[in-house]
Amino acid sequence: MMCGVVLAATTGCGMLPGSAASTETSAWQAAQASGAHSSGTLPRAADRQDYDSCRDGTCEILVTGPTTIDVGHGTLTVVDIDPDGVTFDLDLATGGGGSGTFHNKCGTIARFYLDGRSEFTGCPDGEMLPPPDAQPASVALQLKGRTDKTAVLRVVSG
């Protein structure tokens, strides 16, 4: 299995409001009920589509399309979810951040530090990685699972 994330520097910040609660609930229920993909079913998202739960910097959310989410130290934008992966941009409040595409389903982790550094943890054996730990002055993104049009993302800030 090929694992990878392409990282690039970005700047800027903004936030768009989330979907209405009734739309979030029905989208979440549909995705949870029909979320099969080649490596099994879509894992449950602890915070469902409650994007406001990410404001403290830590959440586990179901994303069904392009959206922008406040993640504490900055703004996460899910640009696209398609059969090739989940494309994202992370704009940190310090002006740094990064962008990339999660191409796998094994829990790859991309971590961005407020000082501009970034690191990538792949899954060479194809085994699901454990959730990232909170590290000071950083935001970690992890793809917990995905289908062709739906993703479960973890955000862990320190």
Contact 91, 77 (CB under 8 A): yes
For residue range 27-74, what is the model confidence (pLDDT) as tens digits? 433 433 333 333 447 899 999 999 999 999 999 999 999 999 999 999
pLDDT of residue 72: 92
- 1 part of a folded domain: no
Residue 14 is assigned to a structural domain of this protein: no
Confirm whether 55 is domain-assigned.
Answer: yes
Between residues 138 and 17, which one has the greater pLDDT? 138
pLDDT, tens only, 94-148 = 999 999 999 877 899 999 999 999 999 988 787 889 999 999 999 999 999 999 8
Can you give the pLDDT at residue 102?
93
Q: Quote the number of domains for the chain.
A: 1
In a domain, 86, yes or no: yes
Q: Could you tell me the two tokens for 28?
A: 């979440």
* Residue 112, domain extent: 42-157
For residue 27, being part of any structural domain is answered with no
| Predicted pLDDT of residue 15 | 25
